[in-house]
Amino acid sequence: MAPTLESVAPTLFTACNALPPGGRIFLGAARRKISRLSFPPPRVRTASRAVRQSGAALLAAMLTVTLVATFAAAALWQQWRSVEVEAAERARVQSAWMLTGALDWSRLILREDARSGGADHLAEPWAVPLNEARLSSFLAADKNVANADDNEREAFLSGQVSDLQARLNVANLIEGNTVSEPALASFRRLFELLGLPVQQLNALARELLLASQAGGQGAGEGVAASQAAVTSLTPLMPQRVDQLVWLGLSRETLAVLAPYITLLPTRTAVNLNTASAEVIYASTPGLEMADVQKLVAVRERSHFRTLADASRQLSGPVNRFAEGQHSVASRYFEVRGRLRLDQTVVQERSVLQRDGLTVRTLWRERGVVTDWPAAVARP
């Protein structure tokens, strides 16, 4: 055991008393300094060191827990993201197949209608809209579907087939390499009826003619000259109605025009059995709106089988409806489908062309609607 200050102090004091006077003075001063010294006991130093070590261990434990929690949260988020991506992909594929089946069903209905022949009117099966219905109700005859688990996701389908020849065709504005005056007059009547600026119609016809000429260039001796005439400012030929803003129509004007116009690959006639009163009025020069309303009322009781049947309902000239501008049958149809899976609504729009018993799809577009309650309520 090491000696301490208290144990050696008496011995030092006795030695100091035995020294001569001068040595006592020196050692007295040393004794006073030694008495003022105090050393902490070894136990106090050991306890302080233990406290410091325990604090460092606690800090290391907290850091370890934080790192483990961070890694666990990141792994959990990655797992959740993978599940959500897989669920969204599965819903997308399921929706695509269901809407494709609905489109094939519409094509079958139009083909069976063509098999019966005659005029196309709003009392035929293709014109009846399908209100939102549970998809399993269409497959109830299948025993596999009947025995399906009740916990499976329910799908609701709705849709409608409409006649595109019930509208004015923008493609009718171009005839050959010039603007068709009869078609331009029809659109002018429609613009005036709807209160739209006619200046935008003139710009539409002019830009549409330029786009048609640029897109219709073919091989021949004048290819180089034609290509030289085409500049970077020449508009592209639109393929959809909403693309008509390229040709001078404002979005506000297009929103008003949309229910009454269409854009098809070829020139078409207006079907008097399916067209609205505004379209019939615009497409028939010299016809008053009162006569159009009378014609629509007669059509609701019995459709027109020929153009002569429609002409007989009006007073005045015998042939009020021209063969190239009006008809009682249609070749182009639009199919709109809406599928609801849980909180997701997917809409699809397709354009079909029917030639005899052949019904082919010209184009399709599909999109997801986020505000599905408003989408379901929309007609």
Phi first, then psi: give them for residue 208, nearest 5 degrees. -65, -35
Q: How far apart are CA 160 and CA 379, in angstroms?
A: 10
- Phi, psi (degrees; rounded to nearest 5) at 40: -65, 145
Retrieve residue 332's tokens.
């182009």
Secondary structure of 255-309 in HEC code, one letter for each residue? HHHHHHEECCCCCCCEECCCCCHHHHHHHCCCCCHHHHHHHHHHHHHCCCCCHHH
pTM above 0.75, yes or no: no
Q: For residues 187 and 171, what is the distance between their CA atoms, to the nearest angstrom?
A: 11
For 236, what's the count of Cα atoms within 13 Å in the CB-facing half-sphere? Answer: 6
pLDDT for residue 225: 45
What pLDDT, on a 0 to 100 scale, did the predictor assign at position 374? 42
What pLDDT does 59 receive? 84
What is the structure's pLDDT at 295? 92
Query: What is the spatial distance between Cα 128 and Cα 279, in angstroms, rounded to a whole number?
Result: 21
Provide the 10 A C-beta neighbour count for residue 175.
14
Task: Using the Cα atoms of residue 207, residue 208, residue 212 and residue 215 in order, give the sign of their dihedral.
Answer: positive
Residues 123-162: b if buried by 16+ CB within 10 A, e if exposed: ebebbeebeeeebeeeeeeeeeeeeeeeeeeebbbbbbbb
User: Sign (positive/negative) of CA torsion 211, 215, 216, 221?
Assistant: positive
Q: Which residues pair with 134 in a beta bridge?
A: 156
Q: What is d(CA 14, CA 72) in angstroms, rounded to the nearest whole number?
A: 74
Q: DSSP letter string over 164-180?
A: GGGSEEGGGGEETTEE-
Q: How far apart are CA 156 and CA 280, in angstroms?
A: 36
Residue 84 — φ and ψ, nearest 5°? -65, -40
Strand 168-169, strand 174-175: pairing: unpaired
pLDDT mean by block of 10 residues, the chain; 379 residues: 53 56 54 54 57 75 89 91 86 86 93 92 93 75 50 80 96 92 95 94 93 65 46 79 91 94 95 95 91 92 91 77 90 94 86 94 80 41
Which pLDDT belongs to residue 32?
61
Ramachandran angles phi, psi of 320, nearest 5°: -75, -20
Rounded to an integer, what distance in angstroms lies between the CA atom of residue 237 and that of residue 143? 50
- In degrees and rounded to multiples of 5, residue 369 shows phi and psi of -100, 125
The C-alpha atoms of residue 140 and residue 145 are separated, in whole angstroms, by 6
